[in-house]
């Protein structure tokens, strides 16, 4: 009676190994909901990779609040991707030596090193993402700050690149010029969203730098064939045209069946993040969904007989109600149906690794 993620263990582990092999120095990213697997499970799997690959030495988390959940399952360094700010609570002394802070503002660098003189830091250089980071001039000034705090441990420079298609190497080259000009002894680059080909070229062109690719989605979700999501059928009801049902007393548009299945808003079912697509096809799909919603028909992520079925009404907290027209195959109570989800926005009742 649950929303379940089933993982083909051998296939998934083989994929993790292949990504680690193709990306020397990989930094697995475990953040948010753990890409659907949970943070704890990803930390354990990162430890498994570390035991097999001597160059897997750091795990990246999204925020400081995620550190405790991974720290007991992973024994290496922990990089926090969200930049340090003065309102961050001090670290537990037992963890401080393992944590690498991302610093994106000069004032923060000085404050952090004043409060915790031996801190390990990565300086973030702003990219065309324009999310966080220092300018080239600020990077040079950061070198001056570091020289005043002789106990600081500089771990390199961080580059968070956009997900655009095309070659990032021109931008990376310009940014690494700033890193060299900072004269701070930067020898390591922590970078996101480069292709395997771009990483290989970068290593060749900048052999003096150690490249640490931070990889999350490609690592954990790169082989979707190893992942199956299913929901349990909890109830089945016959309905005739005009019969009322649900919280809002909607009426059935035709004869058929109502299915109550596991999975609701508490799991992330029916909650949709803004799409990044801007094509005409994507916009047309959005308009079509809006039109269906206006008349009470919304396509659900649940599939029966290979077809995505319609929500009978908006999902409930832990269950959803689907409408099956007359003539469609009707699953029995206790059967499972396939569900298509966005893993980074879904919480599963169970994760089963075979």
Which CATH number goes with the domain that contains 326?
2.40.37.10
Kindly state whether residues 37 and 142 are assigned to the same domain: yes
User: What's residue 291's pLDDT?
Assistant: 38
| Token pair in block for residue 119 | 């801190």
Phi/psi for 95 (5° steps) reads -100, -20
- Strands 4-7 and 227-239, bridge-based pairing: antiparallel
pTM of the model: 0.90
Kindly state whether residues 207 and 292 are assigned to the same domain: no
Kindly state whether residues 26 and 172 are assigned to the same domain: yes
Kindly state whether residues 209 and 293 are assigned to the same domain: no
Of 173, 191, 220, which one is at a domain's C-terminal end?
220
User: What's residue 166's pLDDT?
Assistant: 65
Kindly state whether residues 138 and 195 are assigned to the same domain: yes
Kindly state whether residues 214 and 343 are assigned to the same domain: no
d(CA 332, CA 235): 8
Kindly state whether residues 134 and 116 are assigned to the same domain: yes
Kindly state whether residues 259 and 181 are assigned to the same domain: no
User: What's residue 296's pLDDT?
Assistant: 54
d(CA 95, CA 76): 11
Orientation of helix 106-115 relative to helix 136-148, angle to 10°: 20
> Which residue range(s) make up the domain with 289?
228-353
User: What's residue 276's pLDDT?
Assistant: 53
Kindly state whether residues 90 and 235 are assigned to the same domain: no
Kindly state whether residues 300 and 331 are assigned to the same domain: yes
User: What's residue 273's pLDDT?
Assistant: 58
Kindly state whether residues 87 and 169 are assigned to the same domain: yes
What's the total number of domains in the chain?
2
Of 203, 220, 237, which one is at a domain's C-terminal end?
220
Kindly state whether residues 41 and 107 are assigned to the same domain: yes
pLDDT in tens, the chain (354 residues): 799 999 999 999 999 999 999 999 999 999 999 999 999 999 999 999 999 998 999 999 999 999 999 999 999 999 999 999 999 999 999 999 999 999 999 999 999 999 999 999 999 999 998 899 999 999 999 999 999 998 999 999 999 998 876 678 889 999 999 988 888 899 999 999 998 889 999 999 999 999 999 999 999 999 999 999 999 999 999 999 999 999 888 899 899 999 999 999 999 998 865 555 555 555 444 433 433 343 356 899 999 999 999 999 999 999 999 999 998 999 999 999 999 999 999 999 999 999
Asked whether 121 and 101 are in contact (CB, 8 A), the reply is: yes
Of 197, 220, 243, which one is at a domain's C-terminal end?
220
């Amino acid at each position: 009676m649950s929303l379940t993620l089933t993982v083909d263990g051998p296939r998934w582990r083989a994929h993790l190994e292949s990504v680690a092999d193709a990306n020397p120095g990989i930094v697995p990213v475990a953040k948010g909901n753990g890409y659907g697997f949970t943070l704890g499970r990803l930390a354990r799997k990162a430890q498994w990779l570390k035991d097999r690959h001597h160059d897997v030495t750091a795990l990246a988390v999204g925020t400081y609040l995620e550190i405790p959940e991974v720290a007991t399952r992973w024994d290496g360094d922990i990089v926090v991707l969200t930049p340090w700010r003065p309102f961050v609570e001090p670290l537990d002394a037992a963890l401080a030596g393992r944590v690498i802070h991302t610093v994106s503002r000069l004032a923060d660098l000085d404050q952090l090193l004043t409060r915790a003189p031996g801190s390990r830091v990565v300086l973030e250089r702003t990219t065309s993402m324009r999310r966080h980071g220092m300018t080239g001039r600020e990077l040079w000034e950061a070198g001056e700050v570091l020289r005043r705090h002789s106990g600081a441990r500089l771990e390199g420079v961080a580059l968070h690149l956009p997900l655009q298609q095309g070659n990032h190497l021109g931008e990376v080259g310009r940014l690494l010029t700033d890193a060299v000009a900072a004269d701070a002894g930067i020898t390591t680059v922590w970078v996101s969203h480069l292709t395997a080909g771009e990483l290989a070229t970068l290593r060749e062109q900048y052999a003096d730098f150690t490249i640490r690719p931070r990889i999350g989605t490609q690592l954990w979700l790169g082989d979707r064939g190893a992942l199956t999501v299913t929901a349990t059928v909890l109830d089945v009801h016959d309905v005739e045209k005009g019969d009322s049902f649900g919280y809002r007393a909607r009426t059935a548009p035709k004869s058929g069946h109502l299915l109550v299945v596991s999975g609701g808003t508490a799991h992330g079912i029916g909650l949709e993040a803004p799409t990044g697509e801007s094509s005409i096809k994507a916009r047309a799909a959005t308009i079509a969904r809006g039109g269906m919603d206006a008349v009470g028909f919304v396509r659900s992520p649940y599939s029966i007989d290979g077809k995505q079925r319609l929500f009978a009404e908006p999902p409930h907290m832990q269950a959803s109600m689907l409408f099956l027209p007359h003539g469609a195959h009707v699953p029995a109570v206790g059967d499972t149906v396939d569900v298509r989800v966005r893993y980074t926005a879904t919480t599963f009742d169970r994760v089963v690794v075979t």
